[in-house]
Amino acid sequence: MTATDIAIVGVGKIARDQHIPSIAADPGFTLAATVSRSGGVDGTENHETLDALLEARPDIPAVSLCMPPVPRYEAARAAIAAGRHVMLEKPPGATVAEVFALERLAREAGVTLFATWHSRHAAGVAAAKDWLADKNIRRLRVDWKEDVRKWHPGQAWIWEPGGLGVFDPGINALSIVTEIMPVPLHLSAAELSFPENRDTPIAADLTFAGPGDIDATATFDWRQEGGEIWQIEIETDAGTLKLTEGGDRLFIDGAEQEVANAGEYPELYRRFAHLIDTGASDVDPAPLIHVADAFLLGRRIVTAPFHD
């Protein structure tokens, strides 16, 4: 198997924690270059800008975009125009329209576009989807709570327009829900809590509507202390399913199920390689649509200032 050269654009925390180790362990890819103004990866060629990379290295066929969502569209558009396959960190864009535009551009250019949702590749998600497939859903409860100071220290962009605020982690839960639920849901109400000194919410309460009398809600909160709560509980006519630890552990009626996989980001790169090999794309905007609807429907609540 011949490895595909790939470049990482945006060498921040998520790139160093997840993308770089996953590429290093994947026989399908070789990290050939990076794009970063603040320093790249030791021993790897670095470029100051994406345009510089695209001009200097026409031999690199794939790029993984790990920068914040607001500048991601222009970077993806430029890479697609240069004939490169593109992998997008979540969320795939700052707006839903951007995602549809990139999908069209990739299709016209004949390149692969992979809009990733890493939490869909957590160990318990596929098994949860299979178990729920023939069940009647009665209740969905999502609790996704963490400490922003721990997971996003000093990252000012998350508090700026387009940064999503608490929906940055919350969209992970939505990506799982939209993957495993056997029936479609749409947002019917939302309350968004904004610190008085920030432009994005620190907490959100969502209510969904769907077929029948489904009771479906989600709570996201960035003020959690004493450990993360990343869980989804679904009551059905045949028992209760629970995913905990971000989808890594699966319980049916309280009994833990045996699940295993290679890890979320290694699975993403395995999927990206398959898409490139088969000439396909994978672009699902459903989680981002829920977030956009929350901003459209959400009742704004102003809360105490937040300081790092």
150, 172, 223 from 226: Cα distances, Å: 11, 20, 10
Residues that are catalytic: 90
User: Do residues 291 and 174 make contact, with C-beta atoms less than 8 angstroms apart?
Assistant: yes
Which pair of structure tokens corresponds to residue 75? 């970077």
Query: Please, which residues have CB within 8 angstroms of residue 206's CB and are 6 or more apart in sequence?
Result: 142, 187, 189, 190, 217, 218, 219, 220, 290, 294
> For residues 270 and 38, what is the distance between their CA atoms, to the nearest angstrom?
28
Helices (H) and strands (E) in the chain — how many of each?
Answer: 10, 15
Q: How far apart are the first and last CA of the chain?
A: 47
Burial class (CB in 10 A: 0-12, 13-18, 19+), 23: buried
- Cβ-contact 296, 204 below 8 angstroms: no
* Rounded Cα–Cα distance for residues 110 and 104 (Å): 10
Q: What is the largest CA-CA distance in the chain?
A: 59
**Nearest by Cα to 202 from 297, 118, 301:** 301
Other residues' Cβ atoms within 10 Å of the Cβ of residue 181: 20
Q: What span, in angstroms and rounded, lies between the C-alpha atoms of 286 and 283?
A: 9
CA 18 to chain CA mean position, Å: 13
Which residue type does 95 have? T
**Tokens 């998350």 sit on residue:** 158
